[in-house]
Amino acid sequence: MTLSVPNIVILIVIGLLGTGIYALLTVRNLIKVVVALQIMVKAAMLALVLAGRLQGQENLGQSLALTVIVADTIVAVVGLALAVQVRRVVGSLDLNALTTLRR
């Protein structure tokens, strides 16, 4: 496997996805969960731009990446707002503490 530009980008994508999945599995802090989601979305964005470039439809890939950036930001905003409210109501950012919301 030669280290061409697509190969390097695909390595970044795979590395970021692996890091994000590991974090989602191990982390219990709500804000850290949002960080992990952000990392995974960045991988998806890079993959979209690369796919567009490889398929000869660069502008389509870029416009999809733009949509992903918007969605990514909204996910961060809503996730952080949720974390702030959980902290206020439950008193902790620990995901396990959310079991107190159970009836």
- Residues 46-75 contacting other proteins, CB under 8 A: 46, 49-50, 53-63, 65-67, 69-74
Instruction: Between 56 and 103, name the residue whose CB sits nearer to other proteins.
Output: 56
Q: Which of residues 12-51 bind other proteins (CB under 8 A)?
A: 12-23, 25-29, 31-32, 34-36, 38-39, 42, 45-46, 49-50
CB of 18 to other proteins, least distance (A): 4
Distant-in-sequence, close-in-space partners of 12: CB < 8 Å, separation ≥ 6: 43, 46
The residue type found at 38 is Q
Q: Contact at 8 Å (CB) between 36 and 24?
A: yes
Which residue do the tokens 């731009």 mark?
A: 49
CB of 54 to other proteins, least distance (A): 5
CB of 90 to other proteins, least distance (A): 10
Considering only CA atoms, which of 64, 37, 36 is closest in space to residue 48? 64
